[in-house]
Amino acid sequence: DAGVIQSPRHEVTEMGQEVTLRCKPISGHDYLFWYRQTMMRGLELLIYFNNNVPIDDSGMPEDRFSAKMPNASFSTLKIQPSEPRDSAVYFCASNSWGRSYGSYTFGSGTRLTVV
């Protein structure tokens, strides 16, 4: 299994541009999570999906952020327009919540820099 695959690994963009981050979860996992990590705030949950349906998007900072999961093997996180304060590492994670517990498998992250 290749694990959770995120692309791109690094993204540098100018303020005001649209940014799209991509994630391929582990096959068979029915939960997908988008997190943002910064030194100041740590790991923050932005949104998560169960069976491709958004369950909780209360962590999405503002309307500039949107996320989709058109099928079980693909999700996107879009920022439009981007701002310098969006600079962070964005992680995608997936898991399968069984009868007892599930453990997240994280991707390697996308390091976003908005200048």
Q: Which of residues 74-93 bind another protein (CB under 8 A)?
A: 91, 93
Could you give the C-alpha distances from 1 to 16, 19, 41, 70, 73, in angstroms and in order? 37, 28, 31, 22, 13
CB of 25 to another protein, least distance (A): 13
- Report how far residue 109's alpha carbon sits from residue 93's, in angstroms, rounded to the nearest whole number: 9
* 3-state secondary structure at position 54: strand
CB of 81 to another protein, least distance (A): 27
- What x/- string results for residues 32 through 71 when contact with another protein is judged by CB under 8 A? -x-x-----xxx-x--x-x----xx---------------
Q: Identify which of 31, 5, 44 has the alpha carbon closest to the alpha carbon of residue 101.
A: 31
Contacts with another protein by CB under 8 A lie at 4, 31, 33, 35, 41-43, 45, 48, 50, 55-56, 91, 93, 95, 97, 100-109
